[in-house]
A and B are shown apart, each in its own frame.
Chain A
Amino acid sequence: MPQANIAKQYIMSILTTQQLSIGYSKKGKTTIVQSELDLQLIGGELVCLIGPNGSGKSTLVRSLCGLQNPLSGNVFIEGQDVSKISTAERALLIALVLTDKVEIENTTVEDVVAFGRHPYSNWWGNTSDEDVIRVKDAIEMVHLKKHQFKLLNELSDGEHQRVMIAKALAQDTPIILLDEPTAHLDLPNRVEIMMLLHRLAHDTGKAILMSTHELDLALQAADRIWLMNDDQKGVITGIPEDLVFNGSFNRTFESKSYFFNASNGNFSFNYPLTKKVWVTGDKTRLYWTLRALARAGFKVVQDAEISIEMTNSNWKIQDEVFYTIEELLAKLTRL
């Protein structure tokens, strides 16, 4: 990369880590989770942090926001070293959405979002006109206006998570970090939250980093991926599609029982394929037919003895017609 580009990126980046080593130190025994990380967060981007369990996603999130001290190296936010500023100053730079359960009796959505204004008020917690406006805006941004006065325990899990995001927005920080915000949510809510975060990053110019297990959703929603490898192999960053093409996903999630399917961004089961079959004809049914065949242990090769012809309504082996995959598989196992 030319020097000018690096300099430009450095200026734009809101968060920068330098030779950051993360892990735990207990009773003189140090466990390094990841070391020598040089990472950057850029304003207006949604970054998804993904990686296998135990690779250190939560440790990285906790280290970036100062909930945990790094073993060595530095985290800079807008030029300030995170470990050298006070908790109160940090609250003006990073807002958090955590997996911690928040249950407060008799407390409305508005009350919880207003917690985001704590870093700006005096010791008694008086609210200014600006606080009121920021809270109102944050609630509107996550589409919870009609639930504004609802009690926290009356909300669904998805709405609850949106409240916590609104709280982070009200905190008015250049960075929002989210630790697995889509855990415990059903698919529609997971998609909703991802879309929301993507839109918020672009609309507000904030740098938003979220850790997640949702690989396929992250590939669609993230502007950039931080791909964390286990065994201290570091973090690979890049545009999602670039990481697919250069095989990074496959290397990170290498396993005997599944593989990263670059054609659809999903994990596919690694079935032992002992039998051979060839498939021709109408392509609309190809994807699902191949899946069923793989599950039954069939590998698709051109010189196979059995040949299946697909039409748009059925399958044929020689002259025999099958109307369901079940019939087809039954025939294949008999052959």
Chain B
Amino acid sequence: MLNRRLITFLALSFVTVVFFLSDLALGSIHISLREIISVIFGKGAGGINSEILLNFRLPKAITAVLAGISLSVAGLLMQTLFRNPLADPYILGVSSGAGLGVALITMASAFIPAAVTGSGWAMILAAVAGGSLVLLLVVGVSFRVQSAVSLLIVGIMFGTIAGSLISVLQNYSNPDAIKLFVMWTFGSLSAVTWTYLQALVPVVMLGLGLSFFLKKRLDGLLLGENYARSLGISIPQTRFLIVIAAGLLAGGITAFAGPIAFVGVAVPHIARGVFRTSSHKILLPATMLCGALLLLICDIITQIPTYTLPINTVSALFGAPIIIWIILKKK
């Protein structure tokens, strides 16, 4: 049993590496594998191809891997916490909060100095602030609300409020500002440069570390909160830590790459299906691997047309059928 899983894991890892290299090679300009290897190992420096690789494709591929890992693990955390197969980080309202922050920066810019709105960091900081604010509200509620289902509904309500506020802002904005905001909602992996990666990587690492630290408690939660408590797991503390971990992972990615839908809800189901387990010891790495692979595939698909498709659209095309399949299978 363990051997079968190990073989699956190694095979998937190999496929992921292949797709990572393909992601680097494919695009409007084709770059050969030999060239990629020599650039990565610092040999063939110089030239337009190495420029594209190092400053554009490599950070984009790394972001795809990070986003796939983060959103999928955040989805797994949410599904275990809420014992709901359709829960994902967006349930917490993280992306709506981030969206509200970005909407304020792009569309209410009349009230904010141009120097602030002009830089990329402003958008990221606004997204982080908005996402964190909603997250803090949800965490605050989590101490007062007994059932996980109620918390789920509260998260959805916060998301709805943020969404409505965005609509209000759009109503009063000029078309250029609305377009800037809509572009952000499409999600973009290429917006993440090396500079941004330096901030994103620690956030993701912290979230992942926390997730692995919670492994045993996550397993315990599978029995339901009452049984988990009878096994010595402190529910308020665990719930708090899970929300923080999911917030770091999903909030961080949303802030830098925009909202990327469906990965969070779909990938944990793929991992459960492939590895046939509910144990988080296996599910956490499996989800990371499947998430990275899925988003690399999505990123490659976005480059197939002559102009680049929004990543959010492609991931939704993958995710939605999976959700339908889950519902049909449950019947």
Contact = CB atoms under 8 A, between A and B. Distances in A.
Interface of A: 65, 67, 86-92, 94-96, 98, 100-102, 104-107, 111-112, 115-116, 118-119, 121, 123-125, 171
A226 to B, nearest CB: 20
B232 A118 contact: yes
Nearest to B220: A118
B226 A123 contact: no
B84 interface: no
A137 to B, nearest CB: 18
Nearest to B224: A100
A125 B224 CA distance: 18
A111 B279 contact: yes
B233 A87 contact: yes
A214 to B, nearest CB: 23
Contacts of B232: 86-92, 118-119
A36 B12 CA distance: 62
Given A91-B230, A100-B226, A171-B231, 15 more contacts: A86-B234, A87-B233, A87-B234, A87-B235, A96-B226, A98-B227, A100-B224, A101-B224, A102-B227, A104-B222, A104-B223, A105-B278, A106-B278, A107-B277, A116-B231
Contact of A125 (B215, B230, B235, B278): B215
Interface string B206-241: 000000010110011011101101111111000000
Q: Which residue of B215, B229, B281 has the most chain A CB atoms within 10 A of its CB atom?
A: B229
Contacts of B222: 104, 107
Interface residues of B, number: 23
B226 A98 contact: yes
A125 B231 CA distance: 12
26 contacts: A67-B229, A67-B230, A86-B232, A86-B234, A87-B229, A88-B232, A89-B232, A90-B232, A91-B231, A94-B230, A98-B230, A100-B223, A100-B226, A100-B227, A101-B224, A102-B223, A102-B227, A104-B223, A105-B272, A106-B272, A115-B231, A118-B216, A118-B220, A121-B216, A123-B215, A125-B216
A105 B272 CA distance: 9
- Most interface-central of B215, B229, B231, B281 (chain A CB within 10 A): B231
A104 B230 contact: no
A121 B215 CA distance: 12
A101 B225 CA distance: 11
Contacts of B220: 115, 118
Interface of B: 213, 215-216, 219-220, 222-224, 226-227, 229-235, 272, 276-279, 281
A104 B232 CA distance: 20
Nearest to B85: A105
A112 B222 CA distance: 10
Nearest to A90: B232
A171 B281 CA distance: 21
A215 to B, nearest CB: 26
A199 B101 CA distance: 63
B46 to A, nearest CB: 47
Contacts of B215: 123-125
Contacts of B224: 98, 100-102
Contacts of B231: 91, 115-116, 118-119, 171
Nearest to A119: B232
B32 to A, nearest CB: 43
A247 B270 CA distance: 61
A115 B219 contact: yes
Contacts of A100: 223-224, 226-227
A101 B223 CA distance: 8
A90 B220 CA distance: 16
A74 B235 CA distance: 23
A239 B295 CA distance: 66
Nearest to A91: B232
Contacts of A98: 224, 226-227, 230
Nearest to B230: A96
A67 B226 contact: yes
A79 to B, nearest CB: 19
A115 B272 contact: no
B219 A106 contact: no
Nearest to B272: A105
Contacts of A86: 232, 234
A86 to B, nearest CB: 8
Contacts of B229: 67, 87
